[in-house]
A and B are shown apart, each in its own frame.
Chain A
């Protein structure tokens, strides 16, 4: 691919470094230790936080079931994507995996293909069960089998819609 011309390349003055100093730089270990302690203080709230995200996902699913359009589909994708990104931070890696599978299905199916409600429900139900049972062990055999099954069904649906 031919380069775009002309190219103007310049280095703005480093105002950040001038502002914060920091000598030779590097990770500020004392600040990190304080932040780890602060994070530990938040951990007791993670269960409630993920519960709020799951509730939002259920509401988005209901809105899509009631009126399947680009808006409700986009909202459902955002909720699934949010949980995929946030659940590991909130110590729920299994929920993240299932939400990731749901987000993949919505993202990879062509916009003209209706989302299969039964498979959406399978994901949402799995997320609810994992949350209610507080499952966090990614080595849990049943959870692994469930995730693999959901992945496989998403593969099938996407393949069928895009072939």
Chain B
């Protein structure tokens, strides 16, 4: 049985809907989190982030002005970010594979598909605590490794780099 000291965490909740923020904050407080920061926009979140350097961010995707994806890209790549490795859990009503891929490409660590439930919030928090992902830096991406498993680099032939015709000829 776990006995996490959630009271030691600083969590930033970013959502432009006050009701959703209240719901998420209520869940986190019941978990024992004391230091919770709230932001109603990406701009406000960026300001708080730089001041308070949270341990985890729960972030809505669709917001007026700076979207959740824009904010993640700033967190991962802006030189003024206090912690480019901070785990980001994205709250989203978008559940299509295409949207999930876009969020992964922006540097999201975990997802909470709405509707929000206590169990899902707990499981994603546990995931970022117990199963942190390795980070990857390439020319066009910096963020959590987008593969669930397989930290070890693949050593086999680069079949996908070949054209379909070449593959068909083999």
Chain A residues in contact with chain B, CB under 8 A? 1-12, 14-17, 19-29, 31-32, 34-39, 41-42, 49, 52-53, 75, 78, 81-82, 84-86, 88-90, 96
Contacts and interface: CB of A to CB of B under 8 A. Distances in A.
Interface in B114-169: 114-119, 121-123, 126, 128-130, 132, 134-141, 145, 151, 153, 158, 160-161
B146 to A, nearest CB: 11
A3 B137 CA distance: 12
A90 B22 CA distance: 12
Contact of B118 (A16, A23, A36): A36
Contacts of B41: none
Interface of B: 1-6, 8-9, 17, 19-20, 22-23, 26-27, 29-32, 55-56, 62-64, 85, 87, 91-93, 114-119, 121-123, 126, 128-130, 132, 134-141, 145, 151, 153, 158, 160-161
Contacts of B23: 39, 42, 89
Contacts, number: 166
A47 to B, nearest CB: 11
Given A9-B134, A20-B129, A22-B3, A78 B62 contact: yes
Nearest to A26: B2
Contacts of A21: 3-5
Given A11-B132, A20-B129, A26 B118 contact: no
Nearest to A50: B19
A52 B114 CA distance: 18
A23 B17 contact: no
18 contacts: A1-B161, A4-B141, A10-B135, A16-B9, A16-B132, A17-B129, A20-B5, A22-B5, A23-B1, A23-B2, A27-B119, A27-B122, A28-B6, A29-B1, A31-B32, A49-B19, A78-B62, A85-B93
A11 B133 CA distance: 7
Contacts of B30: 31, 34-35, 37-38
Contact of A81 (B6, B19, B62): B62
A53 B16 CA distance: 12
Closest 8 CB pairs of A and B: A85-B93, A88-B115, A85-B114, A35-B30, A89-B115, A22-B4, A38-B30, A8-B137
A49 B15 CA distance: 15
Given A3-B158, A27-B2, 18 more contacts: A3-B161, A7-B136, A16-B56, A16-B132, A19-B55, A20-B4, A25-B4, A27-B122, A28-B1, A28-B3, A29-B1, A31-B4, A32-B122, A39-B118, A78-B62, A85-B114, A88-B115, A89-B117
B138 A4 contact: yes
A31 B114 contact: no
Nearest to B152: A9
